[in-house]
Structure 1
Amino acid sequence: MNRFADLLERLAYEPRRNAKLRLMTDYFREVPDPERGWALAALTGALSFRNAKPGLIRALIMERTDPVLFGLSYDYVGDLAETVALMWPGETRANSVPTLGDIIAGLHETSKSDLPKRLSTWLDALDETGRWALLKLITGSMRIGASARLAKTAVAALGEEIAPNEVELVWHGLTPPYESLFAWVEGLGPKPLSEDPAPFRPAMLATALEDVTDWAEALSAGDFRAEWKWDGIRVQAATGSNADGTLVTRLYSRTGEEIFGAFPDLLHAFSEEGAIDGELLILREGRVQSFNVLQQRLNRKAVTPKLLADFPAHIRAYDLLVDGREDIRDLPFSERRQRLVNFVSRLDTDRVDLSQEVAFSTWDDLAAARADPASAGAGDDAEAVEGVMLKRADSAYVPGRPKGLWFKWKRDPFTVDAVLMYAQRGHGKRSSYYSDYTFGCWAPGEEGEDVLVPVGKAYFGFTDEELLQLDRFVRKNTTDRFGPVRAVTAEADHGLVLEIAFEGLQRSTRHKSGVAMRFPRVHRIRWDKPPREADRLDHLEALLRES
């Protein structure tokens, strides 16, 4: 466990990608099975523990320290695992340090009633870094700046001719501690094969056009096809045959999580073997509904007949990965698209249709279509379009986000000028900074005067330099404290205005303002604008009516 804890600590303090990659590769090369496999599972988020929750950790530390002192310390540090690791009063017993495998097995096997005692024993045996790593493992929020993709790339680096994409392709047929995967990349065993008749295939992702310095030059490199970008969630529907010939269909999220349990109305939509990549939407009377409507079906534990009738699920297909039993991901997109047209036409269902292509001759034509989908062929579905997708006609279907093949060009976001009202420390690397912001717009008060009404929260969109500026402002202008939250100066002539970008609005009974923003983020800091000139709640109401 101490070796794994050391890896996590070094990753957390290492800002360079290639250095992180070397740290993980060296760890996987030097640590034997199954310990390195459990570490890989932890780094990729493949572990979950039913009975080990943050509430248990809080209860244990407050039994051993003053609850008020813990609260103050947690407020200052901003990270639960780090706070508890530093405050835990146990004395380290070096001869009883558990292995990472022992801890994972214990977390899975120990009953809920016995877990507090066992967790306390582990925490007593570990030093501060080991306790921190253990608690990070339990809470599932590593926040060490190393993605699952980077961890898989480190595994691929163990082999001489294994590409990261090859690891991605076999990943979803494997289970921890991944001994067959390590044997394969090190040349000690065969390539792992999945026996699942309907496995998940890693998704291909697009590059945002605003992230490309000269996108016109990037797009001129090849022949591109365009289609609408729908405001739903990315899914993959895979159908295959068992040994007895019966069809098995599975629905996956973009990350490979199986979600058919929440959408049983799609179960019988697929009568052909194959795998479709598309967008999950809600259709009513042939019209695509907004993402706000789709949210009524997401993350539901129980799916009632009324829910199925009121929110009928639909898949709009835009790529074909497997045709029958033939894997066609290496074929060019233009050929896959034609085979997709034929595949969808053979499905005897109204639950799946084909994503419409967007005709264009020049980039100005495409820009006009993006700005006004209704006049460019989207028709009644125009309100559910959030931009356009561009795909090179000769592109294979490659896992990850390969450069220069697929682009997404989203419609311009809505913006509002709002006043910063509250701030809270972030987590992980941001635990020392006030990086989570609540902002508000002006509205008439009960006595006729204007008051600020909170309309949303944002914790991204700004640069590191802007974060330092915002953190400095919060510290210098704090007027009150509510636990970990600081209230800041927010008056007509004193305060800070933030330009907030967001994707849409919806009615909300949970928010005092009556509206909720979708994906709000800080677009820029309006140092030039006094708070009294910030937008009013009426502005959001008008945007809501327009959308």
Structure 2
Amino acid sequence: MNAFAELLDRLAFEPSRLGKLRLMTEFFRHQPDPERGYALAALTGALSFQHAKPGLIRGLISERVDPVLFALSYDFVGDLSETVALLWPDRPDANRDAGDNGAPLLLSDVVRELGSGGKIGLARRLAAWLDALDETGRWALLKLITGSLRVGVSARLAKTAVAKLGGKKPNEVEETWHGLRPPYLDLFAWMEGREDRPDPSDPAPFCPAMLAHAIEERDFDEIVPANFIGEWKWDGIRVQAASGRDGDGRRAMRLFSRTGEDISAAFPDLTECLAQLPFEAFSLDGELLIVRDARVEPFGVLQQRLNRKTASVKLLAEFPAHIRAYDLLRQDGEDLRALTFTERRARLETFAAAAGCSRLDLSPLVPFVSWEELAQARKNPAAFGAGQNAEAIEGLMLKRKDSIYVPGRPKGLWYKWKRDPFTVDAVLMYAQRGHGKRSSYYSDFTFGVWRDEPEGARLVPVGKAYFGFTDAELIELDRYVRNHTVNRFGPVREVAYGRAEGLVLEIAFEGLNRSSRHKSGVAMRFPRIARIRWDKPAREADWIEGLEALLR
């Protein structure tokens, strides 16, 4: 456990990607099985524990530390694991060898016990582990339990470190990943040349997704319109539908998120329909949407189906899931990813025509000759064939005609050209400290716009943003909050605002939905601070009528 704790601690303070890769590769090289495998599972988000929850941790610390001291410390630190690790009282008489058979505590001990043990006795066992560890060890243990490592490592980067260990390409690990389970003994045996590449024996495997770069102004001078195909970028979530048959001839039908998470159980209406397609095996890349009466609903409607493990009968009926296909990656034993996009698109069109599934259709292409023409389509999708579905489009995709399907984000092949964001001038109302490296700064900001009420104009909250500003601007915002705080509500600070005072923020956002949870009646999608309007008085901020008009 100490070695894993040291790795997390060093990763948290290592700023460079190459430095993080080096740290993980060396860890995987020198740590034994199964410790390194469970560490890899933690870094890739493959571990979850049914009974170990943040509430249990809060209960344990409340028995050992004054609640007021804990509340003040948590408010200042902003991170539960770090706060508890620092406040946990040292016990000189504690068993420093809290693992099995009196040996030092291992990561594998913790994972096995949390995974197989029940709720009874868990609090006592967790307390014994915390007593046995130092501050860094306690922090790592609690991060593992809460599943919030926040050390700047993506699942892809951790898999890349494993690939470097064996001199392999990251995509080779990705291709094998979904047939493997922690602690990945066969994966490390392959990396070290002790065994052949693992055969996942998965009849419906996930194919690592190909991603696009955001297009920049200079790109238009370097790429040729005739070499690219335009396609609408739909405002849903990227998914992959995979089908096949196992050794016993049983049909396997799965729906994966962009990162490879199996979300099939939450969308039985879609998987059942796709399972009836007249093809033995296939992998479709597409967008998950809600379509009702041939109309693609906005993202806010799709959210009713997201982040659920299962779906009720009522939810299935009111929010029917649909996949709009972008690409065909496999079909009946043939891997199509080495074909050009133009060739795959032709195969996809034939596939969709033969499918006969009401929950599946093609994402239409956007013909264009020049960048100017494509810019017009981006600005007005309804006039370029999108019709009533224009509000569900968040921009355009540009795909090179001769591009093969390459996992990751290769340069020069695919570009995304999102529509310009909406903007509103709002007034800062509340602030809260951030987490991790931002725990010392007020970096989460709630803002509002004006609304006429019987007693006069009043600010109503319309959103919350915690990014979009530079590090220098963060320092300025933090200083403003500290100098203008007028009230405190636990960790939240209310700043001075009104017609005569207040800080105006230009907020950029991708969309707007009706919301019964907000006093304003609206909720923004992906709000961020585009500009700090030091020059603008609060009385000149926008009014709620402007947002309501946009919503209509």
> TM-score range, shorter-chain basis?
over 0.9
**1:509 deviation in Å?**
1.2
Match of 1:469 in 2: 476
User: d(CA) in 2 for partners of 1:53 and 1:307?
Assistant: 28
Match of 2:234 in 1: 230
Match of 2:175 in 1: 169
Match of 1:339 in 2: 347
Q: Within 5 Å, give how 1:204-219 maps onto structure 2.
A: 204-209=210-215, 212=216, 214-219=218-223
User: d(CA) in 2 for partners of 1:88 and 1:521?
Assistant: 36
Match of 1:268 in 2: 273
**1:274 deviation in Å?**
0.6
Q: Within 5 Å, give how 1:102-141 maps onto structure 2.
A: 102-141=109-148
Per-residue Cα deviation, 1:3-54 (whole angstroms, up to 9, x for no partner): 1111111111111211111111111111111101111111111100000011
Q: Taking structure 1 as the reference length, what is the TM-score of the superposition?
A: 0.96
User: d(CA) in 2 for partners of 1:219 and 1:491?
Assistant: 50
Match of 1:370 in 2: 378
Q: Within 5 Å, give how 1:523-542 maps onto structure 2.
A: 523-542=530-549
**1:511 deviation in Å?**
0.7
Structure 1 unaligned segments of length 5 or more: list them. none
User: d(CA) in 1 for partners of 2:318 and 2:494?
Assistant: 42
Per-residue Cα deviation, 1:227-258 (whole angstroms, up to 9, x for no partner): 10111111111110122333221111112122
Q: Within 5 Å, give how 1:427-506 maps onto structure 2.
A: 427-447=435-455, 449-506=456-513
**1:486 deviation in Å?**
0.8
Match of 1:418 in 2: 426
User: d(CA) in 2 for partners of 1:148 and 1:222?
Assistant: 36
Q: More deviation in 417-426 or 242-251?
A: 242-251
User: d(CA) in 2 for partners of 1:269 and 1:10?
Assistant: 46
Per-residue Cα deviation, 1:135-157 (whole angstroms, up to 9, x for no partner): 00001111111211111111111
Match of 2:101 in 1: none
**1:173 deviation in Å?**
1.4
User: d(CA) in 1 for partners of 2:164 and 2:202?
Assistant: 27
Is 1:358 equivalent to 2:362 in the alignment?
no
Give, as a single letter, the amino acid of the residue that structure 2 aligns with 1:268.
C
Say whether the 8 Å CA contact 1:323–1:339 is kept in structure 2. no
Q: Within 5 Å, give how 1:65-144 maps onto structure 2.
A: 65-91=65-91, 93-96=95-98, 97-144=104-151
Give, as a single letter, the amino acid of the residue that structure 2 aligns with 1:131.
R
Per-residue Cα deviation, 1:201-244 (whole angstroms, up to 9, x for no partner): 111111112xx361213433981111101111111111101223
User: d(CA) in 2 for partners of 1:389 and 1:49?
Assistant: 39
Give, as a single letter, the amino acid of the residue that structure 2 aligns with 1:172.
H
Say whether the 8 Å CA contact 1:222–1:392 is kept in structure 2. no
Per-residue Cα deviation, 1:340-369 (whole angstroms, up to 9, x for no partner): 111111212121111100000001111001
1:250 is paired with a residue whose SS is strand
Q: Taking structure 2 as the reference length, what is the TM-score of the superposition?
A: 0.95
User: d(CA) in 1 for partners of 2:293 and 2:314?
Assistant: 16
Q: Within 5 Å, give how 1:15-26 maps onto structure 2.
A: 15-26=15-26
Give, as a single letter, the amino acid of the residue that structure 2 aligns with 1:263.
F
Say whether the 8 Å CA contact 1:462–1:524 is kept in structure 2. yes
User: d(CA) in 2 for partners of 1:303 and 1:153?
Assistant: 35
- Quick one: which of 522, 526, 531 aligns to 2:529? 522
Say whether the 8 Å CA contact 2:225–2:371 is kept in structure 1. no
Q: More deviation in 343-352 or 47-56?
A: 343-352
CA-based RMSD: 1.5
Q: More deviation in 213-222 or 286-295?
A: 213-222
2:289 is paired with a residue whose SS is strand
Say whether the 8 Å CA contact 1:480–1:486 is kept in structure 2. yes
User: d(CA) in 2 for partners of 1:231 and 1:112?
Assistant: 41
Match of 1:11 in 2: 11
User: d(CA) in 2 for partners of 1:110 and 1:90?
Assistant: 26
- Quick one: which of 256, 266, 270 aligns to 1:252? 256
User: d(CA) in 1 for partners of 2:165 and 2:493?
Assistant: 48
User: d(CA) in 2 for partners of 1:73 and 1:94?
Assistant: 26
| Corresponding pairs, count | 541
User: d(CA) in 2 for partners of 1:219 and 1:485?
Assistant: 49
User: d(CA) in 1 for partners of 2:312 and 2:151?
Assistant: 40
Structure 2 unaligned segments of length 5 or more: list them. 99-103
1:452 is paired with a residue whose SS is strand
Q: Within 5 Å, give how 1:138-157 maps onto structure 2.
A: 138-157=145-164
Match of 2:337 in 1: 329
**1:495 deviation in Å?**
1.8
Is 1:293 equivalent to 2:301 in the alignment?
yes
Q: More deviation in 300-309 or 400-409?
A: 300-309
Say whether the 8 Å CA contact 1:143–1:429 is kept in structure 2. no
Q: 1:372 to 1:306 in 2, by over 3 A?
A: same
User: d(CA) in 1 for partners of 2:313 and 2:150?
Assistant: 40
User: d(CA) in 1 for partners of 2:267 and 2:368?
Assistant: 35
Q: 1:277 to 1:184 in 2, by over 3 A?
A: same
User: d(CA) in 2 for partners of 1:301 and 1:235?
Assistant: 16
User: d(CA) in 1 for partners of 2:509 and 2:308?
Assistant: 25
Q: Percent identity?
A: 65
User: d(CA) in 2 for partners of 1:501 and 1:188?
Assistant: 53
Per-residue Cα deviation, 1:97-127 (whole angstroms, up to 9, x for no partner): 4100001111112211210000000000000
User: d(CA) in 2 for partners of 1:304 and 1:44?
Assistant: 30
User: d(CA) in 1 for partners of 2:76 and 2:264?
Assistant: 43
Say whether the 8 Å CA contact 1:437–1:458 is kept in structure 2. yes
Per-residue Cα deviation, 1:252-294 (whole angstroms, up to 9, x for no partner): 1112122222222221334212110001112222121111222
Say whether the 8 Å CA contact 1:228–1:388 is kept in structure 2. yes
User: d(CA) in 2 for partners of 1:193 and 1:492?
Assistant: 67
2:493 is paired with a residue whose SS is strand
Q: 1:303 to 1:93 in 2, by over 3 A?
A: closer
